[in-house]
Amino acid sequence: MNIAQLQTRVYRVPTDLPEADGTFAWNATTMVLVEAVAESGQRGLGFTYAAAEAANLIRCTLAEQVVGRDVDHVGAAWEAMVRSVRNMGRPGIASTAISAVDIALWDLKARLAGQPLYRLLGAWRDEVPIYGSGGFTSYDDETLRKQFTGWVEQGIRMVKMKIGKDWGTQPESDVHRVQVARQAIGPDVELFVDANGAYSPRQAIAMAQRFAEQGVSYFEEPVSSDHLAELAFVRQHVPMAVAAGEYGYDPWYFRDMLQAGAVDILQADVTRCLGVTGWLEAAHLAHSFAVPFSAHTAPSIHAQIGCAVPRLAHVEYFHDHARIERMFFDGAPQPVNGCLRPDPTRPGLGLELKAQDAERWRIEA
Ligand SMILES: [Mg+2]
């Protein structure tokens, strides 16, 4: 059975409130969705939270690499897509486009096999622990409190907030907000912080001491992950785990990050790092370095494939994406006792697009 066509659509969904982290602000999320259609009419679904331009790249460049191939030859399709973008530059938009297609091809393959994707890939577990992720620097204290207590009431035992407000220029505000969060969640819930690269190395080390007083156990991108030596330096001087990897667009980036000793926890995002094929490679690289592995955003996809890798620390239950995936997909898993559990009776990713509901968010691209 061959792949007959790829169909792409782009959606833009406004956030429920203005959102910001240490180094970026946004008021909408763009999703590029791909359906891989087999000759039989069976469809596989993939998506990436990326620039709308990725859709054009899929139509103009990637489709011809994939259409006509055997649906089981996902690796060959992946390799052809990766090779086809050599001259345009692969990391960035091209990698997100390849990711969406690769996810759709894996979903299609698993659907045709009549199996949930995590079982097709080989299961290590049947549910994944999640951390609630939000706590934006644009939130006031009351919004932060409400979001975190909401997650704790749902049984979620780990939460992550943004710090490094205004490129690290508001350190007292950061410390205050971490105190607010700790008071809201109580002493037993794990508290994570994410600076999105807003601090300088020495500032990050000084701030880490303040956060440690509030029992913060995980510090994501204390400095920019563009500078692995700086990240490694910070890691050697702070008491909590350092995590990074969300801007990894290929397995080779993760290899370099691990070789540099830059992280205690490696993060990877299936919608950026060349899809399921690339994400599995990242997971096994982390395993070979004895480094725990964590999934960045897109919880409905990571709930599946997080069941299919060793040494999984957690999956990020990102506020925006949890909300969008609930609106867009029947079968998006919901938290139970701090975990997401894929439905073993649903094949593939277990997601069905609510096309009519989603239509109102569709944009031309
Ligand atoms: Mg982050």
4: helix, coil or strand?
A: strand
228: helix, coil or strand?
A: helix
Q: Which two tokens stand for residue 324?
A: 């969008």
Regarding whether 125 and 93 lie in a shared domain, the answer is: no
Regarding whether 218 and 322 lie in a shared domain, the answer is: yes
Q: How far is the CA of 221 from the centre of ligand 1 (A)?
A: 7
Domain interval for residue 241 = 119-352
Q: What is the pLDDT of residues 252-262, one digit of tens each?
A: 999 999 999 99
Q: How far is the CA of 65 from the centre of ligand 1 (A)?
A: 32
Buried b / exposed e along 12-38 (16+ C-beta atoms within 10 A): ebebeeebbbbbeeeeebbbbbbbbbb
Regarding whether 90 and 160 lie in a shared domain, the answer is: no
User: Looking at this protein, which amino acid is placed at residue 341?
Assistant: R
> What per-residue confidence (pLDDT) applies to 254?
98
Instruction: Specify whether the CB–CB gap between 339 and 128 falls below 8 A.
Output: yes
> What per-residue confidence (pLDDT) applies to 243?
98
Q: Which two tokens stand for residue 52?
A: 């709308």
DSSP 8-state code for residue 291: -
Regarding whether 212 and 153 lie in a shared domain, the answer is: yes
Instruction: Tell me the pLDDT of the chain averaged across its residues.
Output: 98
Instruction: Specify whether the CB–CB gap between 350 and 116 falls below 8 A.
Output: yes
Regarding whether 61 and 134 lie in a shared domain, the answer is: no
pLDDT of 276 above 90: yes
Regarding whether 12 and 98 lie in a shared domain, the answer is: yes
pLDDT category at 3 given cuts 50, 70, 90 is very high
Instruction: Specify whether the CB–CB gap between 195 and 221 falls below 8 A.
Output: yes
* CATH number of the domain residue 109 falls in: 3.30.390.10
pLDDT of 355 above 90: yes
Q: How far is the CA of 64 from the centre of ligand 1 (A)?
A: 34
What phi and psi, each to the nearest 5 degrees, are found at residue 255? -60, -45
Q: How far is the CA of 245 from the centre of ligand 1 (A)?
A: 8
| DSSP H or E stretch at residue 172 | helix 171-185
* CATH number of the domain residue 178 falls in: 3.20.20.120
Q: State the average pLDDT over residues 105-134.
A: 98
Q: How far is the CA of 115 from the centre of ligand 1 (A)?
A: 32
Q: For 66-108, give the DSSP string.
A: HTTSBTT-HHHHHHHHHHHTGGG-STTHHHHHHHHHHHHHHHH
Regarding whether 325 and 207 lie in a shared domain, the answer is: yes
Q: How far is the CA of 162 from the centre of ligand 1 (A)?
A: 8
Query: How many domains, the chain?
Result: 2
pLDDT of 365 above 90: no
| DSSP H or E stretch at residue 167 | helix 165-168
C-alpha–C-alpha distance, residues 203 and 284, integer Å: 33
Regarding whether 162 and 92 lie in a shared domain, the answer is: no
Q: State the average pLDDT over residues 24-33.
A: 98
* Burial classification of residue 301, based on how many CB atoms lie within 10 Å of its CB (0-12 exposed, 13-18 middle, 19 or more buried): buried
Regarding whether 319 and 286 lie in a shared domain, the answer is: yes
Q: How far is the CA of 260 from the centre of ligand 1 (A)?
A: 19
Q: How far is the CA of 193 from the centre of ligand 1 (A)?
A: 9
Percent of the chain with pLDDT over 70: 100
Regarding whether 157 and 89 lie in a shared domain, the answer is: no
> What per-residue confidence (pLDDT) applies to 330?
98
Regarding whether 138 and 79 lie in a shared domain, the answer is: no
Q: State the average pLDDT over residues 29-57.
A: 98
C-alpha–C-alpha distance, residues 336 and 295, integer Å: 18
Percent of the chain with pLDDT over 90: 99
C-alpha–C-alpha distance, residues 18 and 349, integer Å: 30
Q: How far is the CA of 220 from the centre of ligand 1 (A)?
A: 6
Q: What angle do CA 134, 207, 317 make, to 5 degrees?
A: 20
> What per-residue confidence (pLDDT) applies to 13?
98
Count of CB atoms within 10 A of residue 250's CB? 18
Regarding whether 198 and 170 lie in a shared domain, the answer is: yes
Q: How far is the CA of 253 from the centre of ligand 1 (A)?
A: 16
